[in-house]
């Protein structure tokens, strides 16, 4: 309220008090109506000013080229990037699980056969083995060493696949950082 409006309100308030003191109901009603109209006028002026400011803000928002660029280019691009990250993560998880599934039986087979041969070797060292049993142990060892070689290659290949399946982490991390920057900009 301006000082002029304050003075007018004060004058009308004095008129209201005078009318109340005199018991003049018509003058009281008239003074209250005048105060209400004055208050409504100020309220409508403020409402008009707020409406103009809101309208200008909306127009400025529409005209902001960066916002337009974000909504037309960057946000759809961010969606594509996040979908790409999801796809890469799923592919990596599947490759990792496939490689582990392929390596586990090989590793388990080598472990079991090594335990069996270790028990036989222990019997040999304790001289608790016949010549025929030793010949069989020799054949078993001859078969086991190539099995270890092949199994090691299989396990190594699968570990390499697991490592390669994780190479996307650096790329997806960069993509996610860009999307976070975009979200912060918005």
Domain 65-186 architecture: Orthogonal Bundle (1.10)
Identify which has the larger pLDDT, 41 or 143.
143
Q: Confirm if 140 and 117 have CB atoms less than 8 A apart.
A: yes
CA distances in angstroms from 45 to 6, 10, 51, 105, listed in the order given: 15, 20, 10, 82
Round to whole Å and give the CA distance between 48 and 41: 10
DSSP category for residue 24: -
pLDDT, tens digit (0-9, with 9 covering 90-100), for 68-108: 666 666 667 777 878 888 888 888 888 889 999 999 999 99
pTM (2 decimals)?
0.51
In this predicted structure, the answer to whether residue 67 has a pLDDT above a threshold of 70 is no
In this predicted structure, the answer to whether residue 183 has a pLDDT above a threshold of 80 is no
In this predicted structure, the answer to whether residue 26 has a pLDDT above a threshold of 70 is yes
pLDDT, tens digit (0-9, with 9 covering 90-100), for 106-125: 999 999 999 999 999 999 99
């Amino acid at each position: 309220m301006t000082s002029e409006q304050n003075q007018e309100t004060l004058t009308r308030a004095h008129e209201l008090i005078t009318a109340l003191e005199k018991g003049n109901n018509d003058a009281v009603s008239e003074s209250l109506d005048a105060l209400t109209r004055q208050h409504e006028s100020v309220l409508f002026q403020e409402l008009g000013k707020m409406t103009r400011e809101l309208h200008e803000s909306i127009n400025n928002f529409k005209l902001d080229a960066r916002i337009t660029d974000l909504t037309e280019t960057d946000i759809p691009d961010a969606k594509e990037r996040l979908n790409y990250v999801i796809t890469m993560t799923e592919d990596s998880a599947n490759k990792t699980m496939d490689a582990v599934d392929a390596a586990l039986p090989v590793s388990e087979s080598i472990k079991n056969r090594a335990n069996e041969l270790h028990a036989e070797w222990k019997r040999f060292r304790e001289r608790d083995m016949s010549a025929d049993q030793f010949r069989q142990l020799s054949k078993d060892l001859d078969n086991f060493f190539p099995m270890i070689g092949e199994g090691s290659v299989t396990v190594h290949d699968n570990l390499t696949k697991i490592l390669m399946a994780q190479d996307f982490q650096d790329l997806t991390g960069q993509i996610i950082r860009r999307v976070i920057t975009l979200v912060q900009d918005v």
